[in-house]
Amino acid sequence: MKNLCWTLFLTLAAGLAAQDSKPLNSQTLTVIRVGALIDGKSDKPRHDQVIVIQGDHIESVSDAASAKLPPGAAVIDLSKATVLPGLIDSHTHIFLQGETPAQGGYDANILYAPLALRAARATVAARRALEQGFTTLRDVETEGAGYGDVGIKQAIAGGYIPGPRLFVSTRAISTTGGYPLEGYAPELDMPKGAQIIDGAVEARKAAREQLDHGADWIKVYMTHRSWVGKNGELVSQPTLTVEELRAIVDETHGWGKKVACHAYSGIGLRRALDGGCDSIEHGLDLDDAAISQMLKQGTWYVPTIAAYYTDWAPADTPEGRRDRLRASVHEPSFKKALKAGVKIAFGTDMGGIPWTEPMAQEFSRMTELGMQPMDAIQSATSRAAMMLDMEGKIGVVAPGAFADIIAVGGDPLRDIKALESVQWVMKDGKVFRSDLN
């Protein structure tokens, strides 16, 4: 049954892809009648609105009662739905297909999958994201698939395949001993899921190479292994030194771009902040010093909560104890950061989570830990846009923004799970999905 559904899905997908590549007339006018509008920025929803779209952008948003409808415009009726800006996932891996141990775990992605297969799977992952209403992804490294993300981004931008707008970070950077593949015979020269550097000169060179080949962001791993310490605390192995990280940050900022840092806790987290990372990814165990430094430096926090509840090792093993500890320290860490007013952006770590799972599950994790639904929505819309330096262009339904718009049947402010069934998706003024009754 699963296979049959999949075949059907691919057939439908092929049909939609053909429609998708039609060029869009920049004068095309579309009017959307909206029942409830959560615009991504305002504190409260507005009712009975009209959105006018010209070509790929939003021309105006106004009350239905006073709206002047342009003659000749196509009208889309979403008057029974809740309309929102296209969602932004700030932490994905389209080149990763889950790390399920039964399927060979992480290593199988690199050891057995030819690059063309990985590109084909990334193409499907990009489409899956768009179907779920995610019209923008910050994809934080290809896990051994080189500059494949730059190619997928070009394919989407060129209209060859459907997908979200992508901010890509290519190969990522870590140090010797700081990334898989690992655990093989030392005589073997194994490929690595990230570009390995040692020393500030190599660090800067890696950043230059990646920026030269199209990275929009640079991704750095500031911690790697983690385990349960003597006193039951989470210990993370630090990777880059502050000097190495500073070389990367300095180079990347010079290009007008930013650095995303994977960091769990302890020494590596401190180095990440001292070295000037623009965003902390995961941040499992943020202490008070880290939180105040993030506030002072304006550092973003992309907590990726849901990812730490999947694939736990058995409870009576060191890995199993570690997996449970990660989740249990993450919860108070997120709550503290939220209370202190750290800037939080929504991120899932999809790819680490299989792409067959709902991306919007992260919203439930965030609200269960005390974040208000509107706040969680803004972390995946206007605030993520701010992190991406795209304020006003994406993550908002307002004049001048790209017409990236979605609709759901229910009210996500009452039940955040409504976002797990997005039924209507428009990107760049083109309807990609329309399943509303």
Stretch binding Zn ion (CB under 5 A), from 11-19, 128-136, 228-236, 348-356: 348-356
Q: Count CA atoms closer than 13 A to 19's CA, side-chain side.
A: 9
* Residue nearer to Zn ion on the CB measure, 346 or 402: 346
- Closer Cβ to Zn ion, 323 or 349, answer by number: 349
Residue 370, sorted as left (phi over 0), alpha (psi -120 to 50) or beta, turns out to be: left
# chain residues binding Zn ion, by CB under 5 A? 1
Closest distance between Zn ion and the C-beta of residue 247, in Å?
23
Pick the closer one to Zn ion by CB: 32 or 194. 194
Strand spans (E) along 216-311: 217-221, 223-228, 234-238, 258-263, 279-282, 300-302
Q: Please, which residue, 38 or 94, has the CB nearer to Zn ion?
A: 94
The distance of closest approach from Cβ of residue 323 to Zn ion in the complex, given in angstroms and rounded to an integer, is: 16
Residue with smaller CB distance to Zn ion, 67 or 196 = 196
User: Rounded to whole angstroms, how far apart are CA atoms 377 and 140?
Assistant: 21
Among 235, 216, 109, 201, CA closest to 165:
216
Nearer to Zn ion, 251 or 349 (CB): 349
Nearer to Zn ion, 20 or 139 (CB): 139
Q: Residue 372: helix, strand or coil by DSSP?
A: coil
- Shortest CB 371 distance to Zn ion, Å: 20
Residue facing Zn ion at closest CB distance: 349
Closest CB 140 distance from Zn ion, rounded Å: 6
- Calculate the alpha carbon distances from 92 to 160, 206, 266 in Å: 21, 21, 24
Q: Across-strand partners of 30?
A: 53, 74
In contact, 277 and 245? CB cutoff 8 Å: yes
Range in contact with Zn ion (rule: CB under 5 A) among 236-244, 319-327, 345-353, 429-437: 345-353
Stretch that binds Zn ion, among 100-108, 252-260, 283-291, 349-357 (CB under 5 A): 349-357
| Residue with smaller CB distance to Zn ion, 138 or 430 | 138
Note whether 117 and 148 are within 8 A (CB).
no
Shortest Cβ distance from residue 229 to Zn ion (Å)? 23
Tracing tokens 């909560």 back to the chain, one arrives at 305
Residue from 39, 251, 323, 349 in contact with Zn ion (CB under 5 A)? 349
Please state the closest distance from residue 169 (CB atom) to Zn ion, in A: 10
Could you tell me the smallest distance in angstroms from the CB atom of residue 392 to Zn ion?
Answer: 28
Nearest-approach distance from CB 219 to Zn ion, in angstroms? 8
- The H or E element spanning position 406 is strand 405-408
| 47: phi then psi, degrees, rounded to nearest 5 | -110, 155
Window of 169-177, 311-319, 341-349, 364-372 that interacts with Zn ion by CB under 5 A = 341-349
Q: State the Cα–Cα distance between residues 196 and 179, nearest whole angstrom.
A: 8
Under the criterion CB under 5 A, does residue 251 sit at the interface with Zn ion? no
258 DSSP β-pair partners: 217
Shortest Å, Cβ 109 to Zn ion: 13
Angle at 128 between CA 326 and CA 393, to 5 degrees: 90
At residue 350, the 3 state secondary structure works out as: strand
Span of 225-233, 347-355, 361-369, 416-424 interacting with Zn ion by CB under 5 A: 347-355
Strand pairing class (422-427; 405-408):
antiparallel
Q: Considering beta carbons, is residue 107 or 428 the nearer one to Zn ion?
A: 107
- Site residues, Zn ion (CB under 5 A): 349
